[in-house]
Amino acid sequence: MLSDRSAATVRATLPVVGAAVGDITERFYDRLFAAHPELLRDLFNRGNQASGAQRRALAGSIAAFATHLVEHPDDRPDVLLSRIAHKHASLGIAPEQYETVREHLFAAIAEVLGDAVTPEVAAAWDEVYWLMANALVAIEARLYAERGIAAGADALRAWEVVERVEETADVATFRLRPADGGPAPAFRAGQYVSVQVELADGARQIRQYSLTGAPAADVRQISVKRVRGTGADGGPGAAAPDGEVSTYLHAHVRAGDRLRVSAPYGDLVLDDAVLSGGPGGGLDGGAPDAGALDGGGPGGGAPAPLLLASAGIGVTPMIAMLEQLADAGHAGPVTVVHADRSPAAHALRAEHLAGTGRLPGATAHFWYEDPEPGHPADRTGRVDLTGLPVAPSTHAYLCGPLPFMKAVRSQLLAKGVAPAAIHYEVFGPDLWLASPSSSGPVGEATMSSTVTGSRAA
C-alpha cells in the first residue's frame, strides 16, 4: 500500500507525469540500451521497440499502476501484475534487473521533468516503482519455484523439432520435444512458451507462441504465423519490416533442428472453479484440480457456459482449450466463434472443427471475408453475436487483433456478461489494459489476461 504522504504527492503529480510519460519512456529506453546494448540485442523485441509499441505499453502500465494505487489504495492491480510477471518469467528476468531499470527510469524522469522532480516527488514515485517491482519479483519467484527454476538462471532449454507442418501459406506448426530426452513440462491450455533464435547479425531474439496441442501429449507444438512487412509496396500505412523471428522460423527451421524454449507461462487459462460450477477461480496458472473440468470439482454444480472467440492466429490458444475440454469429458455448453479472411487462411481449421465436434455441447460459428466453394461461412463481415446462445453467466475467452476483441467484448457486455468473466490475450504489447480509457478493462482486477510479447514477429 502506498503511504499517505506519497499517495497525496502521486495524486497531485499524476497529470504532469502522465502527460510526459511517453517522453519519459522514450528517454528511458534510449538510456537503457546505450548502457546495455545486449538487452536490445538479446532480450527486448526489436520490432516492438522500432514501432514504439513497447514504449507505449510501458508508459500506459506505469500510469495505470500509479492510478490504481491512488484510486484503490486497499488492493493491487493483480491483472496488470500477473500478466507482466508471466511474461518476465518466460524471459528469465532476474530480481537484480529491476535496479537497472530503476536507475535509467528515474534518470529519464529527471531529464524530462527537470526541476519539477523535487526530493518529495522523487521519493513518492520511487515508492510507486518499488511497490510494483517487489510485487513482480514475488510473483516471478513463485512462478520459477513452481517450475523448478532458480531466479536468474537460464530460463531456456534445448528442444528438437520433430516435425514441421505447413498449415496455411503463412502459418507453420512446429512439433517439439526436449533435446535431452527428459519429460516435456506440464502446461495448461492457453499458455505459451518463449522461443529464442539466433539471427544473421548474431542477435538472439525471443518471441512467445501459444502451445496448440493437447496438454497431455508427450510432444509440444506451436503454430507460427509469418509476419510480412507492410507499406513498403506503396500500400497504406508506414513501412514496416518482416517479422524477424517468424521469418527465420519459416525460412530456416526444419525437422531435426533445435530451438531454445522456455517453460510454459501465461494466465489465459480455463478457470477450474468456473468449469466445475464452484466459486471463484485463480490467476496463478497453477495445476488444475483433478476432475474439475467434468463437473467433479469442489463446486459440484453445472459448468458455466463458455465462449471461445478468436480471429486469425488468435485461434492457437483456443485449439488447446478445446483439446483440454474434450479430454476431460466436458459436457457443458461451449460456443466457438472464429473470424478469418478465408477457409484457406484459417490456420488449424480441421483441428478447430474436430475439437468442437468432440464436445457434445459445443457449436462452431465461422466468419470469412472470402468464403470458398465447399467451405461456406456461417456469416460474412464482422463478427456479430446476435442470435448466438450467449447467457449472462457465460465465461468468455478472446484472442485476436485488438479491434476484434474490443468489438466482441462490447457485445458481451451488452448481453449482460460480467466484465470479470471476459478473459483475453493480446499477441503483442498490451495497449488495451494499460490504457486509461474507460472503454478498456483497466481496474477489473479479477479479469484473467496475459501479455505475451509479439507472438508472430
Q: Which residues are catalytic?
A: 98, 140
Are 306 and 335 a contacting pair, CB within 8 Å? yes
Q: Strand, coil or helix: what is 196?
A: strand
81 sits in the region (left: phi over 0; alpha: psi -120 to 50; else beta) called alpha
Are 58 and 30 a contacting pair, CB within 8 Å? no
Under 8 Å CB-to-CB from 390, ≥6 apart: which residues?
A: 305, 307, 335, 412, 415, 417
Please report which helix (H) or strand (E) contains residue 57, including its range: helix 53-71
| Cα–Cα distances in angstroms (integers) from residue 439 to residues 416, 419, 432, 442, 444, in the given order | 16, 11, 9, 8, 12
Are 324 and 189 a contacting pair, CB within 8 Å? yes
Are 367 and 378 a contacting pair, CB within 8 Å? yes
Judge residue 294's burial from the number of C-beta atoms within 10 Å of its C-beta, 0-12 exposed, 13-18 middle, 19 or more buried. middle
- How far apart CA 457 and CA 454 sit, in angstroms, is 6
Counting every residue, how long is the chain? 457
Mode of pairing for the β-strands spanning 306-311 and 334-340 = parallel
- How far apart CA 197 and CA 192 sit, in angstroms, is 16
φ and ψ at 197, to 5 degrees? Answer: -130, 150
- How far apart CA 267 and CA 282 sit, in angstroms, is 9
Assign 3-class secondary structure to 101-122: HHHHHHHHHHHHHHHHCCHHHH
- How far apart CA 22 and CA 18 sit, in angstroms, is 8
- How far apart CA 355 and CA 330 sit, in angstroms, is 12
For residue 265, the 8-state DSSP code is B
Q: Which three cell numbers stand for residue 405?
A: 476483441
- How far apart CA 327 and CA 308 sit, in angstroms, is 17
- How far apart CA 212 and CA 406 sit, in angstroms, is 24
